Amino acid sequence: MTTRMQKVWKGFWQFIAYSLVGLATAFVAYGTRLAILNVYAQIYGLDLESTDLAMVGGSSVLRTIAQTIGWIAGLIFSFMPYKFIVFRNKEWGWKPLGRQFLTFFISRILSYFLELLLAVGLPIGLQAAGYKTFMLFGANGIPMTADNQTIVISVFLVTAINFPIGKLLVFKKKKQKS
């Protein structure tokens, strides 16, 4: 293969690997978030679709807690697959791992606050604007609540932000000394 074809193939493979690891990470993070959100909304009797001010306050706190725990679960889950599978970074040892994890954590803080803004603010804004839950894929499909809609939006925005940060900042290849 030519050098150009090798670069194209490497970029394509990296995109596929990033997408698959990102999908698994989203499943962990958002699955955790939705499980916490729905279980505790049931326990505490919160109506997540209510526009009542008292209910919105309780659901905002629950959304913040659920988002934070889900984000931490996704962060812990995703570090090693991104390091070794997606970006094929072979550095090993406590110092490089610690530095990379710290950089990874700091870089993900940006996406955490974006997701938090979306997870708490967007559902409330959608409901205030009259958003109505609809069924995706027919009557027996997936209920697209404001929270579920927010997850779809978050996945795309956060992925678009995290890939270049991971590639260019966290897991960048060290230049070989000549």
- Dihedral sign from CA coordinates of 66, 38, 40, 126: positive
Tell me the one-letter amino acid at 123.
P
Tens digits of per-residue pLDDT, 94-117?
998 899 999 999 988 988 888 888
Residue-range domain boundaries for the chain: 11-170
CA 147: distance to chain centroid?
14
Whole-number percent of the chain with pLDDT over 70: 95
Residue 178 has pLDDT above 70, yes or no: no
Q: Is the pLDDT of residue 25 over 60?
A: yes
pLDDT at 55 over 80: no
Whether the model clears a pTM of 0.85, i.e. scores above it, the answer is no
The answer to whether the CB of 32 falls within 8 A of the CB of 70 is yes
Residue 29 tokens, joined: 């993070």
pLDDT at 169: 82
Which of 143, 120, 121 has its CA nearest to residue 132? 143
What residues pair up with 63 in beta bridges, in sequence order? none
Environment class of 65 (CB within 10 Å of its CB; exposed 0-12, middle 13-18, buried 19+): middle
Separation CA 63–CA 122 (nearest Å): 11
User: The dihedral of CA 108, 110, 114, 116: what is its sign?
Assistant: positive
Yes or no: say if 72 and 32 are a contact pair by the CB < 8 Å rule.
Answer: no
pLDDT digits (tens, 9 = 90+) for 121-135: 888 888 888 888 888
Mark out the alpha helices in the chain (DSSP H runs): 3-44, 53-80, 94-116, 122-128, 146-165
